[in-house]
Amino acid sequence: MPVSGGIVLDTSHMNKILEINVEDLLVVVQPGVRYETLDKALADHGLMFPQ
């Protein structure tokens, strides 16, 4: 529950990796993407996301 008039925003369903640009080392993700998911997707390109 929010405190003092705040809001609760659940982004867990916004969990898609939108773009992996290996050449520019750029990744565009939605806010609900978990580190483990991103790291596994990057491993396919020989990259990693440090935690």
Domain edges within the chain? 11-51
Alpha-carbon distance of 48 to 50, in angstroms, equals 6
pLDDT at 21: 97
Which residues pair with residue 26 across a beta bridge?
21
Task: Decide if pLDDT at 45 tops 90.
Answer: yes
Read off the pTM. Answer: 0.77
Q: What is the pLDDT of residue 24?
A: 97
Q: State mean pLDDT over 13-38.
A: 96
Q: Where are the alpha helices (DSSP H) in 1-51?
A: 35-43
pLDDT at position 29: 97
pLDDT of res. 51 = 77
Q: What mean pLDDT is predicted for residues 39-44?
A: 96
Interval 41-47 mean pLDDT? 96
